[in-house]
């Protein structure tokens, strides 16, 4: 039995696991990534996590390799991270070389979302599917495209940036430089914009009174709880999210001809409040044959998807 170390790096934490070929996580380690403290600090933390896991993975059974999911625009073929939303000093960084020096072993790297996508393909919602899309709705929007069980990276790793599909040509400005991007509507950030832009009415006033805070501080979980309580404004917000998500998925399906979509991220909890509207919009905006066959399913692996997907890369399952 060979083992892999899979690491999932976020803006807050570095999470790692020793994974066997069946996908069982034999040992876990976790440390803060403290993105504000810079690259040197991050590398130290990464080494500590790998060292802790290495105690289990060293010696027989054999450690086949290490794969690390990094938050940012990653070109796995070149080993370069072009930029990261969390780590300001990751600019055109040859991460593979630096990490190889640090660990004495050359790692595989990829974008963290891409590894989560692969994890779902190995053991989760997309098991058995050779082609699929995964869209992750959290603070922002991530995701990936899998073709023949492999992530499609585009020319330099920029593929799968679903958050920046344009769903409103004159919509709000996005930090990417464009406007009306999907992320401005169908994410935690987008929810706040939807609240701000909703016309002043009794139901909005009631909703804001119940939240009892500035719009900036309202979380997706709070909106979800209010929707569960039957608050009509909270319910309408998730319908708007579903609408824009459906518009975005329709463009993707029409472009790629894929009939399988996995939705992951924090918004999954509110599934019943947005999925109906999303499916309705996809149905209106795609060919009947495609819409009839389209499967949109929630992700299945939760927080472990990134670790498992990284391990899958090591085992060259994908
Ligand atoms: Zn954008």
Same domain, 69 and 146: no
pLDDT for the residue numbered 140: 87
Q: Ligand 1 centroid vs 167 CA: distance in angstroms? A: 10
- Report the C-alpha gap between 209 and 191 in whole angstroms: 17
Same domain, 38 and 169: no
Q: Ligand 1 centroid vs 180 CA: distance in angstroms? A: 7
pLDDT for the residue numbered 262: 97
Contact between 50 and 5 (Cβ < 8 Å): yes
Q: Ligand 1 centroid vs 183 CA: distance in angstroms? A: 7
pLDDT for the residue numbered 117: 96
Q: Ligand 1 centroid vs 113 CA: distance in angstroms? A: 17
Percent of the chain with pLDDT over 90: 85
134 strand-pairing partners: 144, 262
pLDDT tens column, 142-153 = 899 999 999 999
- Report the C-alpha gap between 65 and 226 in whole angstroms: 46
Give me the torsion for CA of 139, 163, 149, 50, rounded to 10°.
-40
pLDDT tens column, 270-304 = 999 999 999 999 999 999 998 899 999 999 998 99
Q: Ligand 1 centroid vs 225 CA: distance in angstroms? A: 28
Same domain, 45 and 188: no
Q: Residue 78: give its domain's CATH number.
A: 3.30.420.40
Q: Ligand 1 centroid vs 186 CA: distance in angstroms? A: 12
Query: What domain count does the chain have?
Result: 2
Q: Ligand 1 centroid vs 112 CA: distance in angstroms? A: 19
Q: Ligand 1 centroid vs 176 CA: distance in angstroms? A: 4
Same domain, 247 and 131: yes
148, with CB counted inside 10 A (0-12, 13-18, 19+), is exposed
pLDDT for the residue numbered 21: 95
- Among all chains, which residue has been given the structure tokens 């409103």? 168
Across the beta sheet with 73-75, the strand order is: 73-75, 80-83, 93-94
pLDDT for the residue numbered 308: 97
Q: Ligand 1 centroid vs 311 CA: distance in angstroms? A: 30
Q: Ligand 1 centroid vs 251 CA: distance in angstroms? A: 16
- Domain extent at residue 182: 127-299
Same domain, 156 and 202: yes
Same domain, 290 and 166: yes
Same domain, 68 and 182: no
Residues of the chain with pLDDT under 50: none
Q: Ligand 1 centroid vs 269 CA: distance in angstroms? A: 25
Same domain, 200 and 222: yes
Same domain, 213 and 105: no
Q: Ligand 1 centroid vs 141 CA: distance in angstroms? A: 10
216 phi/psi in degrees, rounded to 5: -55, -35
Q: Ligand 1 centroid vs 279 CA: distance in angstroms? A: 23
The 8-class DSSP code of residue 187 comes to S
Q: Is 48 helix (H, G, I), strand (E, B) or coil?
A: helix
Same domain, 42 and 156: no
Alpha carbon 59 to its chain's center: 33
Same domain, 256 and 168: yes
Q: Ligand 1 centroid vs 283 CA: distance in angstroms? A: 25
Same domain, 282 and 144: yes
């Amino acid at each position: 039995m060979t083992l892999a170390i899979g690491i999932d790096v976020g803006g807050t934490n570095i999470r790692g696991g020793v994974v066997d070929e069946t996908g069982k996580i034999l040992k876990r380690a976790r440390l803060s990534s403290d993105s504000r403290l810079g690259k040197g600090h991050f590398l130290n933390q990464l080494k500590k996590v790998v060292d802790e896991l290495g105690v289990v993975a060293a010696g027989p059974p054999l450690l086949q390799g290490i794969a690390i999911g990094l938050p940012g625009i990653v070109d796995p073929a070149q080993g370069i991270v072009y930029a990261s939303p969390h780590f300001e000093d990751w600019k055109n960084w040859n991460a593979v070389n630096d990490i190889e020096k640090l660990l004495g072993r050359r790692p595989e790297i990829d974008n963290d979302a891409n590894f989560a996508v692969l994890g779902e393909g190995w053991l989760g919602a997309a098991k058995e599917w050779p082609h699929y899309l995964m869209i992750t709705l959290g603070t922002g929007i991530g995701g990936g495209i899998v073709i023949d069980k492999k992530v499609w990276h585009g020319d330099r790793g920029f593929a799968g940036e679903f958050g920046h599909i344009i769903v409103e040509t004159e919509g709000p400005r996005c930090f990417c430089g464009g406007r009306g991007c999907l992320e401005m509507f169908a994410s935690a950030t987008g929810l706040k914009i939807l609240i701000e832009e909703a016309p002043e009415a009794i139901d909005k006033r009631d909703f804001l009174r119940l939240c009892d805070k500035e719009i900036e501080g309202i979380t997706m979980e709070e909106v979800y709880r209010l929707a569960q309580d039957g608050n009509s404004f909270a319910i309408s917000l998730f319908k708007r999210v579903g609408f824009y998500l459906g518009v975005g998925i329709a463009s993707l399906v029409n472009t790629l001809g894929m009939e399988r979509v996995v939705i992951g991220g924090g918004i999954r909890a509110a599934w019943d409040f947005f999925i109906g509207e999303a499916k309705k919009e996809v149905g209106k905006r795609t060919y009947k044959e495609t819409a009839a066959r389209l499967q949109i399913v929630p992700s299945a692996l939760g927080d472990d998807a990134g670790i498992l997907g990284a391990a899958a890369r090591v085992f060259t399952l994908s």
